[in-house]
Structure 1
Amino acid sequence: MQVDPVGLAADLAGLADHAWTAHFVPQHYEGDWSVLPLRAPAGALHPILQIAPNPLCRDWVDTVLLGLCPSIARVLDGFACPLEAVRLMRLAPGSIIREHRDIDLAAEAGTARLHIPITTNPGVAFRLNGTRVAMAPGTVWYLRLADPHSVANTGSTDRIHLVIDAIVDPWLEDLLDRGRTIA
Protein backbone atom coordinates (compact mmCIF):
# COMPACT_ATOMS: atom_id res chain seq x y z
CA MET A 1 0.00 0.00 0.00
CA GLN A 2 1.32 3.43 -0.92
CA VAL A 3 -0.04 6.95 -0.55
CA ASP A 4 0.82 10.32 -2.11
CA PRO A 5 3.89 11.59 -0.22
CA VAL A 6 3.60 15.06 -1.83
CA GLY A 7 0.12 15.60 -0.41
CA LEU A 8 1.24 14.40 3.02
CA ALA A 9 4.20 16.79 2.94
CA ALA A 10 1.90 19.67 1.95
CA ASP A 11 -0.36 18.91 4.92
CA LEU A 12 2.69 18.80 7.17
CA ALA A 13 3.86 22.19 5.90
CA GLY A 14 0.43 23.61 6.73
CA LEU A 15 0.96 22.65 10.38
CA ALA A 16 4.27 24.51 10.73
CA ASP A 17 2.86 27.03 13.21
CA HIS A 18 1.47 24.42 15.60
CA ALA A 19 3.28 23.37 18.77
CA TRP A 20 4.45 19.78 18.97
CA THR A 21 4.11 17.97 22.32
CA ALA A 22 7.09 16.08 23.73
CA HIS A 23 6.50 12.33 23.80
CA PHE A 24 4.97 11.22 27.09
CA VAL A 25 7.55 8.50 27.92
CA PRO A 26 10.83 10.43 28.34
CA GLN A 27 12.79 7.38 29.48
CA HIS A 28 12.35 5.91 25.98
CA TYR A 29 14.29 8.61 24.14
CA GLU A 30 17.06 11.21 24.05
CA GLY A 31 16.67 14.47 22.17
CA ASP A 32 13.44 15.66 20.57
CA TRP A 33 10.70 13.11 19.96
CA SER A 34 7.42 14.96 19.66
CA VAL A 35 3.84 14.50 18.53
CA LEU A 36 0.87 16.27 16.94
CA PRO A 37 -2.49 14.53 17.61
CA LEU A 38 -4.84 14.01 14.66
CA ARG A 39 -7.26 11.60 16.39
CA ALA A 40 -7.51 11.59 20.16
CA PRO A 41 -9.67 10.21 22.94
CA ALA A 42 -13.03 11.99 23.04
CA GLY A 43 -12.98 14.71 25.68
CA ALA A 44 -9.18 14.76 26.08
CA LEU A 45 -8.14 18.38 26.45
CA HIS A 46 -4.62 18.16 27.88
CA PRO A 47 -1.96 17.73 25.16
CA ILE A 48 -0.46 14.63 26.84
CA LEU A 49 -3.88 12.95 27.00
CA GLN A 50 -4.41 13.76 23.32
CA ILE A 51 -1.21 12.00 22.23
CA ALA A 52 -1.23 8.99 24.58
CA PRO A 53 -2.82 5.91 22.99
CA ASN A 54 -5.17 4.98 25.85
CA PRO A 55 -5.96 1.23 25.58
CA LEU A 56 -9.16 1.69 27.61
CA CYS A 57 -10.57 4.40 25.33
CA ARG A 58 -13.47 3.37 23.12
CA ASP A 59 -14.41 6.80 21.73
CA TRP A 60 -11.89 8.48 19.44
CA VAL A 61 -12.47 11.76 17.62
CA ASP A 62 -10.71 13.76 14.93
CA THR A 63 -8.83 16.77 16.26
CA VAL A 64 -8.90 20.28 14.84
CA LEU A 65 -5.46 19.57 13.32
CA LEU A 66 -6.82 16.74 11.17
CA GLY A 67 -9.26 19.25 9.69
CA LEU A 68 -6.22 21.15 8.38
CA CYS A 69 -4.87 18.05 6.61
CA PRO A 70 -7.01 17.07 3.59
CA SER A 71 -4.45 14.61 2.18
CA ILE A 72 -4.03 12.83 5.50
CA ALA A 73 -7.82 12.73 5.92
CA ARG A 74 -8.12 11.05 2.50
CA VAL A 75 -5.52 8.47 3.53
CA LEU A 76 -7.43 7.73 6.74
CA ASP A 77 -10.70 7.45 4.80
CA GLY A 78 -9.05 4.66 2.81
CA PHE A 79 -8.86 2.45 5.89
CA ALA A 80 -12.04 0.39 6.24
CA CYS A 81 -11.15 -0.65 9.79
CA PRO A 82 -11.72 1.23 13.06
CA LEU A 83 -9.00 3.80 13.79
CA GLU A 84 -7.95 4.82 17.26
CA ALA A 85 -5.00 7.16 17.86
CA VAL A 86 -3.61 8.92 14.79
CA ARG A 87 -0.58 11.12 15.27
CA LEU A 88 2.27 12.80 13.50
CA MET A 89 5.46 11.73 15.25
CA ARG A 90 8.69 13.67 14.76
CA LEU A 91 12.21 12.55 15.64
CA ALA A 92 14.58 15.50 15.30
CA PRO A 93 18.17 15.21 14.04
CA GLY A 94 20.54 13.82 16.66
CA SER A 95 17.70 12.15 18.58
CA ILE A 96 17.20 8.49 19.42
CA ILE A 97 14.38 6.27 20.58
CA ARG A 98 15.88 3.62 22.81
CA GLU A 99 15.09 -0.02 22.22
CA HIS A 100 11.79 -0.91 23.82
CA ARG A 101 8.64 -2.98 23.28
CA ASP A 102 5.04 -1.88 23.07
CA ILE A 103 3.53 -5.13 24.31
CA ASP A 104 -0.01 -4.36 23.13
CA LEU A 105 1.00 -3.51 19.54
CA ALA A 106 0.73 -6.76 17.65
CA ALA A 107 -1.92 -7.63 15.09
CA GLU A 108 -2.60 -10.93 16.82
CA ALA A 109 -3.42 -8.96 20.00
CA GLY A 110 -5.98 -6.90 18.08
CA THR A 111 -4.19 -3.59 17.47
CA ALA A 112 -1.88 -2.82 14.57
CA ARG A 113 0.31 0.28 14.49
CA LEU A 114 0.86 1.50 10.95
CA HIS A 115 3.66 3.87 10.00
CA ILE A 116 3.59 6.10 6.93
CA PRO A 117 6.83 8.08 6.54
CA ILE A 118 6.37 11.67 5.41
CA THR A 119 9.92 12.98 5.82
CA THR A 120 13.03 10.93 6.41
CA ASN A 121 16.72 10.89 5.52
CA PRO A 122 19.48 8.30 4.97
CA GLY A 123 20.65 8.83 8.57
CA VAL A 124 17.45 7.37 10.03
CA ALA A 125 17.96 3.83 11.31
CA PHE A 126 14.73 2.12 12.40
CA ARG A 127 15.56 -1.29 13.85
CA LEU A 128 13.07 -4.07 14.53
CA ASN A 129 14.48 -7.18 16.22
CA GLY A 130 17.93 -5.76 15.45
CA THR A 131 17.27 -5.55 11.70
CA ARG A 132 17.26 -2.18 9.97
CA VAL A 133 13.99 -1.33 8.21
CA ALA A 134 14.25 1.38 5.55
CA MET A 135 10.92 3.11 5.00
CA ALA A 136 10.43 5.50 2.08
CA PRO A 137 7.99 8.42 2.16
CA GLY A 138 4.47 7.42 1.19
CA THR A 139 4.87 3.70 1.96
CA VAL A 140 2.63 2.07 4.54
CA TRP A 141 4.21 -0.24 7.10
CA TYR A 142 2.82 -2.61 9.70
CA LEU A 143 5.51 -3.32 12.25
CA ARG A 144 5.00 -5.76 15.12
CA LEU A 145 6.08 -3.32 17.81
CA ALA A 146 5.57 -5.82 20.60
CA ASP A 147 9.04 -6.90 19.43
CA PRO A 148 12.17 -4.90 20.35
CA HIS A 149 12.57 -1.77 18.23
CA SER A 150 14.57 1.45 18.24
CA VAL A 151 15.21 4.47 16.03
CA ALA A 152 18.19 6.80 15.61
CA ASN A 153 18.18 9.94 13.49
CA THR A 154 21.80 10.79 12.74
CA GLY A 155 20.76 12.83 9.70
CA SER A 156 20.31 16.57 9.38
CA THR A 157 16.50 16.69 8.89
CA ASP A 158 13.45 15.62 10.86
CA ARG A 159 12.02 12.16 10.50
CA ILE A 160 8.21 12.51 10.61
CA HIS A 161 5.77 9.62 10.34
CA LEU A 162 2.01 9.47 10.23
CA VAL A 163 1.32 6.82 12.89
CA ILE A 164 -2.05 5.07 12.92
CA ASP A 165 -3.32 2.69 15.60
CA ALA A 166 -5.96 0.50 13.96
CA ILE A 167 -8.22 -2.23 15.26
CA VAL A 168 -7.56 -5.49 13.45
CA ASP A 169 -10.79 -6.50 11.77
CA PRO A 170 -11.32 -8.79 8.74
CA TRP A 171 -10.53 -5.93 6.32
CA LEU A 172 -7.19 -5.11 7.96
CA GLU A 173 -6.39 -8.79 8.49
CA ASP A 174 -6.81 -9.33 4.74
CA LEU A 175 -4.62 -6.31 3.96
CA LEU A 176 -1.88 -7.57 6.29
CA ASP A 177 -2.12 -11.07 4.78
CA ARG A 178 -1.77 -9.64 1.25
CA GLY A 179 1.22 -7.59 2.41
CA ARG A 180 2.95 -10.72 3.71
CA THR A 181 2.60 -12.43 0.33
CA ILE A 182 4.14 -9.41 -1.44
CA ALA A 183 7.11 -9.21 0.95
Structure 2
Amino acid sequence: MTKMAPELPIEVDSETGVWTTDALPMLYVPRHFFINNHVAVEEALGAEKYAEILYHAGYKSAWHWCEKEAELHGLEGVAVFEHYMMRLSQRGWGHFITEQIDLDAGTARVRLENSAFVYQLGKVGRKVEYMFTGWFAGAMDQILAARGSSLRTVAEQSQSAAEDGCEVGIFQVKPLTGAAR
Protein backbone atom coordinates (compact mmCIF):
# COMPACT_ATOMS: atom_id res chain seq x y z
CA MET A 1 0.00 0.00 0.00
CA THR A 2 1.33 3.41 -0.99
CA LYS A 3 0.83 6.17 1.55
CA MET A 4 0.06 9.78 0.66
CA ALA A 5 -0.74 13.02 2.41
CA PRO A 6 -4.41 14.06 2.62
CA GLU A 7 -5.65 15.70 -0.58
CA LEU A 8 -8.08 18.00 1.19
CA PRO A 9 -7.27 21.23 3.00
CA ILE A 10 -7.10 20.79 6.77
CA GLU A 11 -6.62 23.68 9.16
CA VAL A 12 -6.42 23.28 12.94
CA ASP A 13 -7.14 26.22 15.22
CA SER A 14 -4.15 26.42 17.57
CA GLU A 15 -6.27 27.77 20.43
CA THR A 16 -9.39 25.57 20.20
CA GLY A 17 -8.10 22.47 18.40
CA VAL A 18 -11.04 22.67 15.96
CA TRP A 19 -10.28 21.07 12.61
CA THR A 20 -11.64 22.85 9.53
CA THR A 21 -11.88 21.79 5.89
CA ASP A 22 -13.25 24.21 3.30
CA ALA A 23 -14.55 26.50 6.08
CA LEU A 24 -16.61 23.74 7.75
CA PRO A 25 -15.68 22.36 11.20
CA MET A 26 -14.72 18.68 11.15
CA LEU A 27 -14.09 15.86 13.62
CA TYR A 28 -11.17 13.47 13.27
CA VAL A 29 -11.83 10.14 14.99
CA PRO A 30 -10.49 6.59 14.58
CA ARG A 31 -12.61 4.43 12.25
CA HIS A 32 -13.15 1.72 14.88
CA PHE A 33 -14.40 4.33 17.37
CA PHE A 34 -17.00 5.69 14.97
CA ILE A 35 -18.17 2.30 13.71
CA ASN A 36 -18.31 0.74 17.18
CA ASN A 37 -20.60 3.60 18.25
CA HIS A 38 -22.64 3.17 15.07
CA VAL A 39 -23.09 -0.56 15.72
CA ALA A 40 -24.06 0.05 19.36
CA VAL A 41 -26.84 2.45 18.32
CA GLU A 42 -27.96 0.04 15.59
CA GLU A 43 -28.21 -2.77 18.15
CA ALA A 44 -30.22 -0.56 20.53
CA LEU A 45 -32.66 0.82 17.94
CA GLY A 46 -32.66 -1.87 15.27
CA ALA A 47 -31.10 -1.43 11.84
CA GLU A 48 -34.32 -0.32 10.12
CA LYS A 49 -35.15 2.46 12.60
CA TYR A 50 -31.53 3.62 12.76
CA ALA A 51 -31.32 3.71 8.95
CA GLU A 52 -34.45 5.88 8.84
CA ILE A 53 -33.02 8.33 11.38
CA LEU A 54 -29.66 8.49 9.60
CA TYR A 55 -31.32 8.96 6.21
CA HIS A 56 -33.02 12.19 7.31
CA ALA A 57 -30.01 13.49 9.24
CA GLY A 58 -27.67 12.65 6.36
CA TYR A 59 -29.99 14.26 3.82
CA LYS A 60 -30.04 17.51 5.79
CA SER A 61 -26.28 17.46 6.31
CA ALA A 62 -25.50 16.76 2.65
CA TRP A 63 -27.80 19.59 1.55
CA HIS A 64 -26.01 22.00 3.92
CA TRP A 65 -22.55 20.80 2.90
CA CYS A 66 -23.26 21.05 -0.84
CA GLU A 67 -24.79 24.49 -0.43
CA LYS A 68 -21.73 25.79 1.47
CA GLU A 69 -19.20 24.12 -0.83
CA ALA A 70 -20.93 25.33 -4.00
CA GLU A 71 -20.81 28.87 -2.65
CA LEU A 72 -17.19 28.63 -1.45
CA HIS A 73 -15.81 27.11 -4.65
CA GLY A 74 -18.20 28.64 -7.20
CA LEU A 75 -19.53 25.23 -8.22
CA GLU A 76 -22.89 24.30 -9.70
CA GLY A 77 -24.72 21.32 -11.12
CA VAL A 78 -22.90 18.04 -11.56
CA ALA A 79 -19.64 19.67 -10.39
CA VAL A 80 -21.14 20.01 -6.89
CA PHE A 81 -22.07 16.30 -6.79
CA GLU A 82 -18.63 15.25 -8.07
CA HIS A 83 -16.92 17.53 -5.52
CA TYR A 84 -19.01 15.91 -2.76
CA MET A 85 -18.07 12.39 -3.91
CA MET A 86 -14.41 13.44 -4.02
CA ARG A 87 -14.47 14.92 -0.51
CA LEU A 88 -16.29 11.89 0.93
CA SER A 89 -13.62 9.69 -0.64
CA GLN A 90 -10.80 11.88 0.66
CA ARG A 91 -12.18 11.76 4.19
CA GLY A 92 -11.88 7.98 4.42
CA TRP A 93 -15.49 6.77 4.13
CA GLY A 94 -14.60 4.78 1.01
CA HIS A 95 -14.08 5.52 -2.67
CA PHE A 96 -17.27 6.97 -4.17
CA ILE A 97 -17.55 6.83 -7.96
CA THR A 98 -20.41 8.50 -9.83
CA GLU A 99 -21.28 5.97 -12.53
CA GLN A 100 -24.27 7.93 -13.84
CA ILE A 101 -25.91 11.27 -13.10
CA ASP A 102 -28.72 13.10 -14.90
CA LEU A 103 -29.92 16.26 -13.18
CA ASP A 104 -32.87 16.72 -15.54
CA ALA A 105 -34.14 13.24 -14.70
CA GLY A 106 -33.10 13.39 -11.03
CA THR A 107 -31.13 10.16 -11.24
CA ALA A 108 -27.70 8.99 -10.22
CA ARG A 109 -25.85 5.76 -9.59
CA VAL A 110 -22.91 5.74 -7.19
CA ARG A 111 -20.48 2.85 -6.76
CA LEU A 112 -18.69 2.51 -3.41
CA GLU A 113 -15.35 0.75 -3.23
CA ASN A 114 -13.15 0.37 -0.14
CA SER A 115 -15.99 1.03 2.29
CA ALA A 116 -14.89 1.96 5.81
CA PHE A 117 -17.82 -0.06 7.14
CA VAL A 118 -16.84 -3.18 5.20
CA TYR A 119 -13.19 -2.82 6.22
CA GLN A 120 -14.27 -2.70 9.87
CA LEU A 121 -17.17 -5.20 9.86
CA GLY A 122 -16.21 -7.57 7.03
CA LYS A 123 -18.60 -9.83 5.08
CA VAL A 124 -21.66 -9.83 7.34
CA GLY A 125 -24.27 -10.78 4.72
CA ARG A 126 -26.22 -7.51 4.71
CA LYS A 127 -26.03 -3.89 3.63
CA VAL A 128 -24.00 -1.96 6.19
CA GLU A 129 -23.52 1.45 4.53
CA TYR A 130 -27.11 2.65 4.90
CA MET A 131 -25.75 5.74 6.67
CA PHE A 132 -24.66 7.10 3.28
CA THR A 133 -28.02 6.75 1.53
CA GLY A 134 -29.57 10.07 2.57
CA TRP A 135 -26.37 11.84 1.61
CA PHE A 136 -26.92 11.17 -2.08
CA ALA A 137 -30.54 12.38 -2.15
CA GLY A 138 -29.65 15.42 -0.04
CA ALA A 139 -26.83 16.35 -2.40
CA MET A 140 -28.98 15.81 -5.49
CA ASP A 141 -31.90 17.81 -4.07
CA GLN A 142 -29.70 20.75 -3.06
CA ILE A 143 -28.27 20.88 -6.57
CA LEU A 144 -31.75 20.64 -8.10
CA ALA A 145 -33.09 23.40 -5.83
CA ALA A 146 -30.14 25.65 -6.71
CA ARG A 147 -31.10 25.19 -10.38
CA GLY A 148 -34.68 26.18 -9.61
CA SER A 149 -36.08 22.67 -9.99
CA SER A 150 -38.90 21.44 -7.75
CA LEU A 151 -37.95 17.80 -8.47
CA ARG A 152 -36.97 15.88 -5.33
CA THR A 153 -35.33 12.50 -5.03
CA VAL A 154 -34.91 9.43 -2.87
CA ALA A 155 -31.83 7.22 -2.62
CA GLU A 156 -31.54 3.49 -1.97
CA GLN A 157 -28.66 1.10 -1.52
CA SER A 158 -29.07 -1.89 -3.83
CA GLN A 159 -25.97 -3.83 -2.78
CA SER A 160 -23.06 -3.78 -0.34
CA ALA A 161 -19.60 -5.30 -0.46
CA ALA A 162 -20.51 -6.72 2.97
CA GLU A 163 -22.98 -9.05 1.20
CA ASP A 164 -21.91 -12.42 -0.18
CA GLY A 165 -21.14 -12.27 -3.89
CA CYS A 166 -20.75 -8.48 -3.95
CA GLU A 167 -17.46 -6.63 -4.23
CA VAL A 168 -18.79 -3.05 -4.20
CA GLY A 169 -21.67 -1.04 -2.84
CA ILE A 170 -24.24 0.46 -5.23
CA PHE A 171 -26.57 3.37 -4.50
CA GLN A 172 -29.36 4.61 -6.78
CA VAL A 173 -30.94 8.06 -6.72
CA LYS A 174 -34.33 8.45 -8.39
CA PRO A 175 -37.18 10.96 -8.38
CA LEU A 176 -39.78 10.78 -5.63
CA THR A 177 -43.12 9.62 -6.94
CA GLY A 178 -46.33 11.54 -6.23
CA ALA A 179 -47.30 9.28 -3.32
CA ALA A 180 -43.85 9.49 -1.73
CA ARG A 181 -43.67 13.28 -1.88
Same fold (TM over 0.5): no
TM tier, smaller: under 0.3
Structure that is richer in helix per residue: 2
Structure that is richer in strand per residue: 1
Which structure is larger by alpha-carbon Rg, 1 or 2? Answer: 2
TM-score by length of 1: 0.25
Higher relative CO (CA 8 A, sep ≥ 6), structure 1 or 2? 1
TM-score by length of 2: 0.25
